[in-house]
Amino acid sequence: MTQAPTTRRSSRRRHDREIIALAVPAFGALVAEPLFVIVDSAIVGHLGTSQLAGLGVAAALLTTAVSIFVFLAYATTAAVARRVGAGDLPSAIRQGMDGIWLALLLGAVVVAVAIPSAPWLVEAFGASDTAAPYATTYLRISSLGIPAMLVVLAATGVLRGLQDTRTPLYVAIGGFTTNGVLNVVLVYGAGLGIAGSAWGTVIAQVGMALAYLIVVVRGARRHGASLRPDAAGIRASAQAGVPLLVRTLSLRSVLMIATAVAARLGDTDIAAHQIILSLWSLTAFALDAIAIAGQAIIGRYLGANDAKGAREACRRMVQWGIASGVVLGVLIVLARPLFLPLFTGDESVQDALLPALLVLAVSQPIAGVVFVLDGVLMGAGDGCYLAWAMLVTLAVFAPVALLVPTFGGGLTALWWAMTLMMAVRLVTLWIRTRSGRWIVTGATR
């Protein structure tokens, strides 16, 4: 009896070490990814307003296209981690190769669609007549890098499943640096303009994909895993990814509805909304890093038939999620006098922003738990439940958000609707986690 508190402390310390070891590098890699667009924007912005506007449209289309396939990382992480937990590294790497082959196939399809339809996509996105040619040029060239981008997603999932988040961090830093150098050289040195920026991004993405493939291929040869495409394995990877695709599309729909509602509220509110959405995305990186650790850790425990360890890890990560959310919420409140002037000097935008910003701060502890439980269920391979839960969330959020302009609630009311969305996600994920139905042990679910 006297050893129980010591045992619990020892267990917590073990889980803390695992979470920190995986989450900290994962956070660095997550932050490095959006820096690609920031660097491109900074360099292309000096070419002219039309070029920068064209880049903005093309980058938004590319980001949407790639983010839809984020399941390549999530599903692969869970599947590989299970096999690692079961002690079957050859099968783990083989599973990862199936995900990579699927990424290549999907990438080829997207390129075949994106290049000929680029002018139509740019027009549908509302690009001006002066920006459209630049957007089309950037989109057509950068689309060539989509297969590499999807390979990066799948290979990142392989390494996360292997409990390695450091290599993705190093690759992301290398890709970011290469992209910056190539953009300067090709845009200004070679005089290619916005096309040079697109080619620089493509080359950097291909380089990142090759770096990942070298690591994965070395691991496959070391453990005697086959590198050849396997139709059954690729099909299984696709089937595992479909529910997560539904979840991702539902979440994207929530964000699109929120932006559309903010636009109907007026220029001041949409400007303030974009600032809050940027902050929301930034805090999401920190919370998602814990979720990524959860995917890898939970998958490994379940693969090792350690249901107790999975429950303990889940409980500890929820505590991390709550604590991280509280810290982020406090930071948002305390730092608001510092960062608000950085985003805008318009007092009307700041006035609209402040109360909605406080709502964002209050919602952070909820978001912390949501992200963690999302990662836990992904690590357990519980994609079907995640898909249905997100569809329910969308069904609750959409009518509430769309009624905001009718009742004159303004931006603050819209962000209370966003908080409701997170609360619904919390309830659905908490019910599933408490039920224990997500705990399915073994090398495969």
What is the residue-level pLDDT of the chain in tens, covering all 445 positions?
444 666 777 778 888 888 898 988 988 888 776 677 777 777 887 788 788 888 878 887 888 888 889 899 999 999 999 999 999 999 999 999 999 999 999 999 999 999 999 999 888 877 778 888 998 999 999 999 999 999 999 999 999 999 999 999 999 999 989 998 999 999 998 889 999 999 999 999 999 999 999 999 999 999 988 889 889 989 989 998 999 999 999 998 998 888 888 878 887 777 788 778 878 888 888 889 999 999 999 999 999 999 999 999 999 999 999 999 999 999 988 987 776 776 666 677 778 788 888 999 999 999 999 999 999 999 999 999 999 999 999 999 999 999 998 887 788 999 999 999 999 999 999 999 999 999 999 888 7
Backbone φ and ψ of 54, nearest 5°:
-60, -40
- Would you say the C-alpha torsion 67, 70, 145, 201 has a positive or negative sign? positive
Q: What predicted TM-score, i.e. pTM, was given to this entire model?
A: 0.89
41 and 320 Cβ atoms separated by less than 8 Å: no
CA distance 415 to 360: 7
Which is nearest to 280 in space by CA: 368, 374, 400, 399? 368
Token readout for 321 is 């999620």
Q: Tell me the backbone φ, ψ of residue 346, rounded to 5 degrees.
A: -75, 115
Residues 6+ positions from 357 with CB-CB distance below 8 Å? 276, 279, 332, 336, 340
Report yes or no: 263 and 347 within 8 Å, Cβ to Cβ. Answer: no
Q: Which two tokens stand for residue 57?
A: 């449209």
